[in-house]
Amino acid sequence: MWKKKQFRFTLAVTLMATMLAGCGGNDKPAANDGAANEPASGNAANSAANHAADDEGTSDASKPVSFTFFDANVGDTFDNPVAQEITKKTNVSLEIQQPTGNPSEKLNLMLASNDLPDIMDIGRGDILEKYIAAGALVPLNDLIDQYGPHIKEMYGDMLKKTRSADGNNYYLANWYGLEQYPVFGFLMRMDVMKELGVGEKTNNGEPFSSDEFVELLKKYKEKYPVSDGKPTVPMTFNGENMGAITGSFKGMFGIMPYYQVDGKLQTDVKDPRYLDMIKFMNSLFTQGLIDPEWATNKTQQYEQKLASGSYFSTADAFWNLGKPNTVLKDAAKDAAKKDEAQFYPYKVLAPGVDPSKATYGPKSSLGWDGIGISKSNKDPVRAIQFLDYLASEEGQYLMMWGIEGKDWDMKDGKHVPRQETLDGFAKDWDGYSKQTGIRKWTWTIKNGPGSDGTPYDLIGRYQTDPVSALAIKNLADTSFDTAPFDNLGPSGGTPEAIIQQKVNETTSKYFPRMVMAASQDEAVATYEKMLKELETAGVSKLEAIYTDNYNKRMELWK
């Protein structure tokens, strides 16, 4: 049995950057944020984990127990039908805590005051690292060995990748495991594609070459030279989402998160293909194929432009076009062809890029959040048993599909959702989730299908709309695991973190300038000026940190 003690670990944790917009953590511990305990070694922690449970712990799964649970994402009370079924299965009830303000501020305050709930769901990043470094989360290794058979089965090697440098696991990831699912792409109006003579490629899964794509943009401009009294431009972008723009064009050129050369990691802007990308984007701009206002477009303006029917293409994550696609469908003259009026995502390849090497789909197998047991928990055995149930296949389907016989049925050995469940989410996703509890909480959820082949994520993966279905067909094979490269930068609050901020600001400043340069020569000169400014800012120091942290991570994962 396990005996709770308080520890402080000033050790690193493998962290994940946001998928699609970076965070600032790394494998090094952040500064202690006011925790009072002295450091304890990893060996001492594991030794203590072998002791018997203290008198305060129930450890008897037949006895009801209640835990306080901090969820940085969802603050709903734990009393909907799914929650009630979880409590019935585990004898565990939860008091969900979630701040009305900034979750990060609340987490920092709780850590500083040493006022911790029993179980915590924390976004992976600097704050989770602080909690581990301060000893606020207990090591889970021995608890999992003794009471977590489903955790071991479901997580497998992922437990090796989410452990800290001391060899301990302090949290369980959610949305973990690499999923072949698309992210970025070049979106084009399907009905217009047919008008431009490429109807055969609208749904055959074949990529476009860069030359073919440019030719389509030119044909659109020629066919529709004027729009709203102004010269037509085929493409526009969301200036408030630069990550989606760069993610799409980097995917086209097969650019990875870092440029690896001679065993060292450098910033991706030093990849020769990055300059090729800039030249290509600049050529689109100088030919009048890109909206001259793209860099200042706000999200609402961007959506309105796409919904107006005046633009043929954009570069984005396909799910970001829900609003304009809805407007375009409703405005379609032929109701039978309204789906064709939407923007659909396609793969475009730069010269010499192997289709299998395109990088449109950055996905981290390490997941989004970390669910840990705090040092304040008086019964960590029951807590890990509770999490073990949630991690089990039965727990996955309960959280994500609802209750058998009510929300879904087992037919011929497969999970089959009831039509009213699908209809409920189609009509009001948020409201139906709140009402039923289905997909309300995603603790310990694994990407991919269950043992019968049906996806754990019912609403996100079981039944897809036409745009999502074609995105999967065209771009799912461009998914790649960013986990080895996630959060390799300096720790927050360090001098190097300030350098990182300066480097990020510099690249963000120069990107639109390079794209909108008056000529290719000017674009190249602006690129070279950016590189010099990055060196002055100290990018070489950062690259040494990237390389060191990467090598340590690869060694840890062996």
The CATH number of the domain where 512 resides is what? 3.40.190.10
Point out the least confidently predicted range of 25-39, 180-194, 383-397: 25-39
Rounded distance, CA 50 to CA 60, Å? 18
Residue 243: count other Cβ atoms within 10 Å of its Cβ: 17
Together in a domain, 373 and 449:
yes
Q: Does a structural domain hold residue 130?
A: yes
Q: Is the pLDDT of residue 9 over 70?
A: no
Burial of 5 (0-12, 13-18, 19+ CB in 10 A): middle
pLDDT digits 0-9 by tens, 78-122: 999 999 999 999 999 999 997 778 888 999 999 999 999 999 999
- Percent share of the chain, pLDDT over 90: 78
In this prediction, residues 282-305 reach a mean pLDDT of 97
Residues β-bridged to residue 313 = 188, 235
Average pLDDT, the chain: 89
Both 109 and 243 in a single domain? no
**Which pLDDT score, from 0 to 100, does residue 59 have?**
64
pLDDT of residue 100: 76
pLDDT computed for residue 68 by the predictor: 97
Pick the last residue of a domain from 430, 459, 480.
480
Q: Are 213 and 344 contained in the same domain?
A: yes
Beta-strand runs (E) in 164-223: 172-173, 184-189, 208-209
Which of residues 480, 498, 532 is at a domain's end? 480
What type of residue sits at position 372?
G
pLDDT at residue 385 is higher than 60 = yes
Residue 145 lies in a domain: yes
Angle, helices 299-307/322-331, rounded to nearest 10 degrees: 30
- At residue 381, the pLDDT reads 97
pLDDT of 301 over the 50 cut: yes
| Structure tokens given for 232 | 């037509």
> Which DSSP letter does residue 191 get?
H
In the structure, what pLDDT confidence band is assigned to residue 30 with cuts at 50, 70 and 90? Answer: very low
- The answer to whether 231 and 239 have CB atoms below 8 angstroms apart is no
More confident residue, 248 or 556: 248
Supply the DSSP symbol for 410: E
Of 480, 497, 526, the residue at which a domain comes to its end is 480
Quick check: is 513 in a domain? Answer: yes
> Residue 335: its pLDDT value, please?
87
Give residue 128's Cα distance to chain centre: 16
- Are residues 393 and 526 located together in one domain of the fold? no
Which of 34-48, 208-222, 533-547 shows the lowest per-residue confidence on average (mean pLDDT)? 34-48
Give the CA dihedral 508, 513, 519, 524, nearest 10 degrees.
Answer: -40
Mark 247-268 as b/e (b = at least 16 C-beta within 10 Å). Answer: bbbbbbbbbbbbbeeeeebbbb
Residue 227's pLDDT band (cuts 50, 70, 90): confident
Q: Is residue 32 part of a domain?
A: no
pLDDT given for residue 228 in this prediction:
78
49 falls within a domain: no
pLDDT single digits (tens) 242-271: 999 999 999 999 999 999 999 999 999 999
Assess if residue 6 is contained within a domain: no
User: How far is 9 from 256, CA to CA, in rounded Å?
Assistant: 33
pTM of the model: 0.80
Name the phi and psi angles at 318, rounded to 5. Answer: -60, -30
Q: pLDDT band for 125, please (50, 70, 90 cuts).
A: confident
Whether the pLDDT of residue 3 is over 70: the answer is: no
Quick check: 46 pLDDT over 60? no
Q: How many CA atoms lie within 13 A of 43 on its CB side?
A: 0
Q: How high is the pLDDT of residue 19?
A: 34
Output 166 or 139, whichever has higher pLDDT: 139
The least confident of 68-72, 161-165, 273-277, 462-466 is 462-466
pLDDT at 34 over 60: no
pLDDT for position 103: 87
My answer on whether 339 and 252 are in the same domain is yes
Average pLDDT, integer, range 223-236 = 90
CA distances from 293 to 290, 303, 318, 522 (A): 9, 14, 21, 19
In a shared domain, residues 417 and 552: no
pLDDT of residue 165: 86
Is the predicted pLDDT of residue 44 greater than 80, yes or no? no
Q: Are 298 and 270 in the same domain?
A: yes
Based on the fold, state whether residues 348 and 493 are members of the same structural domain. Answer: yes
Q: Residue 361 and residue 318: Cα distance in Å, rounded? A: 11
CA distances from 435 to 194, 425, 438 (A): 43, 11, 8
Q: Is residue 43 part of a domain?
A: no
Contact between residue 381 and residue 59 where contact means Cβ atoms under 8 Å apart: yes
- AA letter at 266: Q
Q: Does one domain contain both 423 and 443? A: yes
Give the span between the Cα atoms of 365 and 359, in whole angstroms: 15
Q: How many domains does the chain have?
A: 2
Q: What average pLDDT does range 313-339 have in this prediction?
A: 94
Least confident among 270-279, 336-345, 423-432: 423-432
For the cut 60, the answer to whether the pLDDT of residue 13 exceeds it is no
Residues spanned by the domain of 498: 184-359+488-557
List helix spans (H) across 29-148.
42-48, 81-90, 103-113, 126-133, 141-147
- Same domain, yes or no: 315 and 188: yes
